[in-house]
Amino acid sequence: MENLHQHLSLALKQLRQANGWSLTLAAGRTGVSKAMLGQIERGESSPTVATLWKIATGFNVPFSFFVQGGAEPAGGVATFSQPNAQMQVKPLLPYDAQLRFDLLEVTLAPGAQSDSSAHESGVIEQVVVLEGELLLNIEGTWRRVQSGEASQFAADKPHSYRNPLSIPLRFHSLIHYLQRP
């Protein structure tokens, strides 16, 4: 966890510096409080998956930017586990800058729900359930995706993931960042 804290801290500082954004401006662009951003930069807090997504979206970087090389040897991918361990995200491939996609493996604990803010404009998400059952909320409507099934949705609107069963839910999430420069 120490490594992950350090990695997130460095990644966020680097992004702010590259963009020339103050903490106040970064808070405005990401929707994450100045206090929380400051804590992450000081290595004092590990954010939830939902918070990390807000930061990635605000800075226009793929989710995997924050996880790659974190707790693994150079170039490796690490599993991001949020503090309450309800949700884990592991990039299965490094971000592909040419094809502009992330392939993530997501695990959601029994009964857990994760609410995601809108990703960048034009982002399309495809999910494939490996184990368990996924309830997806897209624009107020719940959609059931069972083991072995896939579903696609426009992820530039708020959406939620829920595990309705008493066993862990595991699914692949393929994120297409169509409008990234």
Which positions lie near Mn ion, rule CB under 5 A?
A: 116, 155
Token pair for residue 54? Answer: 């807000």
Tell me the closest approach of the beta carbon of residue 42 to Mn ion, in angstroms: 27
Tell me the closest approach of the beta carbon of residue 23 to Mn ion, in angstroms: 25
Tell me the closest approach of the beta carbon of residue 86 to Mn ion, in angstroms: 15
d(CA 181, CA 165): 39
| Nearest residue to the partner Mn ion, using Cβ | 116
Residues paired with 62 in a beta bridge: none
User: Which is nearer to Mn ion, 37 or 155 (by Cβ)?
Assistant: 155
Tell me the closest approach of the beta carbon of residue 166 to Mn ion, in angstroms: 24
Residues paired with 131 in a beta bridge: 170
Token pair for residue 95? Answer: 């971000």
User: Which is nearer to Mn ion, 5 or 157 (by Cβ)?
Assistant: 157
User: Which is nearer to Mn ion, 30 or 116 (by Cβ)?
Assistant: 116
d(CA 174, CA 157): 16
User: Which is nearer to Mn ion, 9 or 116 (by Cβ)?
Assistant: 116
Tell me the closest approach of the beta carbon of residue 4 to Mn ion, in angstroms: 20
- Residue 113, CA distances (Å) to 57, 60, 61, 137, 146 in order: 20, 25, 24, 10, 16
Sequence-distant (≥ 6) Cβ neighbours of residue 77 within 8 angstroms: 64, 67, 68, 69, 90, 91, 92, 93, 94
User: Which is nearer to Mn ion, 153 or 168 (by Cβ)?
Assistant: 153
Token pair for residue 175? Answer: 């994120």
User: Which is nearer to Mn ion, 26 or 127 (by Cβ)?
Assistant: 127
Answer for the pair 58, 65: CB distance below 8 angstroms, yes or no: no
Tell me the closest approach of the beta carbon of residue 118 to Mn ion, in angstroms: 9
